[in-house]
Structure 1
Amino acid sequence: MILITGASGNYGKSTIDFLLEKGVPSTQIKALVRDESKASHLKSKGLELRFGDYDNYEQLVEAFAGIDKLLLISGSDPFNRAKQHENVINAAKEAGVQHVIYTSFERSNETESSPIWFIASSHIATEKLLISSGLKYTIFRNNLYLDILPWFFGDNVLETGIFLPAGDTKAALTLRDDMAEATANVLLSEGHEDKVYAFSNTENVNIQEIAKDLSEVVGKNIPYISPSVEVFTETLTKAQVPNEFIQMFASFTSAIKEGEFEVSTTDLETLLGRKPTTAKEYLSSVYNA
């Protein structure tokens, strides 16, 4: 029996869809949700809903009863996530879950000097706890999503160009659906116990190359400017972009510039059984229309 946490989110929904496409009966998949009103699409697929909040330990123990494999999709609250994940792992042990699969993330800097330490710290803590838990585990080191590029670029990118402090460092940006399909493949097969897999693209690209690809896709020159973080912050502040978004964009693009997401090896192609979607293929699917 498989349980997917965060089942109403993008990663969870996509993983469930791939499991169903690959022939897993809906009766063998349980979906953990917090809000039933956001899970009607899951019920329509024949899945049993189980209700649980990462902050509610007793609720999690009850929800995990009878589960063999549990996909722990990382929580969306970076400041409380370490404790929430600890609740999930401990509840899984108490409920008799055999194998926990966790969506962590790719990084090269595991110190507080990382520009994304606020994200990294909880993932690192969760990995350590899971490895020492006595449970069978599989950890996915997920690279930065290709899907985040339009968010970084803004709605007017085709008119204004790309303005990000990412420098010319490359990153193995990866489509979320490719990760979800590989996740489904791992859930469906054996031999993945106590493994750490790199979920990264087979190509590393920088934003300059992405700007060139986007230019070819839309048939016009899309310039790329890489300002300092200070100029970037000042410019977006004057444009009345909310500060929390500015800080998020600055942190992740600075991480790109520092090489946090550039990799030399990946397990994704092997686990997918095909080449991952390239940056240009993704840009074409989003901007070609």
Structure 2
Amino acid sequence: MAAGQAVIGVSGATGQLGEMIVRTLRAQYPDIPVVALVRDLAKGAPLAAIGAELRHFDYDEPGTLAPALAGIDKLLLISGNAVGERERQHRAVIEAAKEAGVGLIAYTSVLRASETSLPIAAEHKATEAILKEVGVPHVLLRHGWYCENYLFRIQAAVDHGTLPTCAGDGLISAAPRADFAQGAVAVLTSREDQAGKVYELAGSTSFTFDDLAAEATRLSGRPVTCVQLSKPAFEAALVEIGTPPFVAALIAKSDMGACDGGLFDESRTLEKLIGRPTTPMSEVMAHTLRP
């Protein structure tokens, strides 16, 4: 470890976003010490192989948290995936970070958390409030939707010829995880004081579901039609094809959020952070779509 360098800790480091961030840090800033905070040390072995230090860290095991955070200067707190449990989990991490003397927490919240109608925002709003209450210096990385969120639906649309939704003509400003990861790295490695900053992060370009259907048609050579349904009808259709009811409800709420403008942003804040336009949805689709 290089003397004098701030130590960066990344929670959820074996998750899709977390692993990208650790790998980007190690590749672009090899002199910065990186601690990969993981539930499963064996799963984190590939990160250790590229020079990250592994520490056991489980949101549901409070006793593991403060010891694992010892010596960490900046913590990237990646939101947990246990919907309904995250407020409790995040509080445990934030309180442990204060106990351990962490100098800055960067938290992955949701786009315009303070005003959005997206139901998923409730736990993010609560976490932002906890950060203020506990009093740890923090910066908010409010993420829009990932392009990857739509890929399985687009592939199914190519296979079946229809892309059902309840999003209407709502615009979605999505970017791939890799671009959000690069944005997080830019904040964590910045020489400027980040405490108190709020970044509304989304894609440089936007699309509707009609756009997705047209692009799927172009890329696959097979006709895909966007079908607009009511929210109850869309949710029922998802359940009918085997989607678990809980997941179907989340997807329908997400699409309704798009209809209400909750997934649209034109600030280009992420673009400014990473120094280039974000990768467009069409390019992400081109790399993954099967004809």
TM-score > 0.5, shorter chain as reference: yes
Counterpart secondary structure, 1:190: coil
Deviation at 1:159, TM superposition (A): 3.3
Once the two structures are aligned, what percentage of the paired residues are identical?
A: 32
Q: Report if aligned partners of 2:22, 2:52 keep a CA contact under 8 Å in 1.
A: no
Report the Cα offset of residue 20 of structure 1. Answer: 1.4
* 1:194-252 deviation line (CA, Å, top 9, x unaligned): 10001111222111112212222223332111111222233233333321221121111
| RMSD of equivalent CA atoms | 1.9
Rounded to whole Å, the distance in 2 between the matches of 1:134 and 1:79 is 24
* Secondary structure at the counterpart of residue 139 of structure 1: strand
Q: 1:107·1:261 contact (CA, 8 Å) conserved in 2?
A: no
Within-5 A mapping of 1:134-283: 134-153=135-154, 155=156, 157-191=158-192, 192-283=194-285
Asked whether the 8 Å contact 1:109–1:260 carries over to 2, the reply is: no
Alignment-mate amino acid for residue 251 of structure 2: F
Task: State the alpha-carbon separation in 2 of the partners of residues 233 and 12 from structure 1.
Answer: 30
Partner of 2:8: 2
Identify unmatched segments of 5+ residues in structure 1. Answer: none
Query: Is the 1:197–1:266 Cα contact (8 Å) retained in structure 2?
Result: no
Distance 2:27 2:246 in 1: 38
TM-score, length-scaled by structure 2 = 0.91
Contact 2:143/2:200 (CA < 8 Å) preserved in 1? Answer: yes
User: 1:82 and 1:42 mapped to 2: Cα distance?
Assistant: 28
Structure 2 residue matching 1:182: 3-state secondary structure: helix
- Cα contact 2:158–2:217 (8 A) shared by 1: no
Counterpart of 1:123? 124
Query: Which residue does the alignment assign to 1:19?
Result: 25
2:76 corresponds, among 47, 71, 76, to 71
Q: Give the Cα separation in 2 of the matches to 1:283 and 1:240.
A: 24
Query: Which runs of structure 2 are paired with 1:92-131 in the superposition (5 Å)?
Result: 92-107=97-112, 110=115, 114=117, 116-117=118-119, 119-131=120-132
Counterpart amino acid of residue 94 in structure 2: I
- Residue identity in the other structure for 1:136: P
Displacement after TM superposition at 1:109 (Å): 7.3
Letter in 1 for 2:214: K
Amino acid aligned to 1:166: A
Task: Report the Cα offset of residue 188 of structure 1.
Answer: 1.3
- Other structure's SS at 1:36 match: coil
Contact 2:114 2:125 survives alignment (8 Å): no
Report how many aligned residue pairs link the two structures. Answer: 284
Deviations 1:156-195 (A, max 9, x none): 5343221111111101111111000111121111222210
Asked if 1 retains the 8 angstrom alpha-carbon contact of 2:112 and 2:200, the reply is: no
For the residue of structure 2 that corresponds to 1:70, the secondary structure is strand
2:39 equivalent in structure 1: 34
For residues 88 and 95 of structure 2, the distance between their equivalents in structure 1, rounded to whole angstroms, comes to: 11
Task: Tell me which amino acid in the other structure corresponds to 1:226.
Answer: Q
CA distance in 2 between counterparts of 1:254 and 1:71 reads: 30
Residue of 26, 42, 49 corresponding to 1:44: 49
The match for 2:96 among 91, 95, 103 is 91
SS at match of 2:42: helix
Greater Cα shift, 60-69 or 180-189: 180-189
Unaligned ranges ≥5, structure 2: 1-6
* 1:68-117 deviation digits (Å, cap 9, x = unpaired): 00000001112110111111111111101001101001147747xx4x42
- Following superposition, the deviation at residue 154 of structure 1 comes to 5.2
Could you report, residue by residue, the CA deviation over 1:92-148 in whole angstroms, capped at 9, with x for unpaired residues? 11101001101001147747xx4x42x211100111221343322111110011111
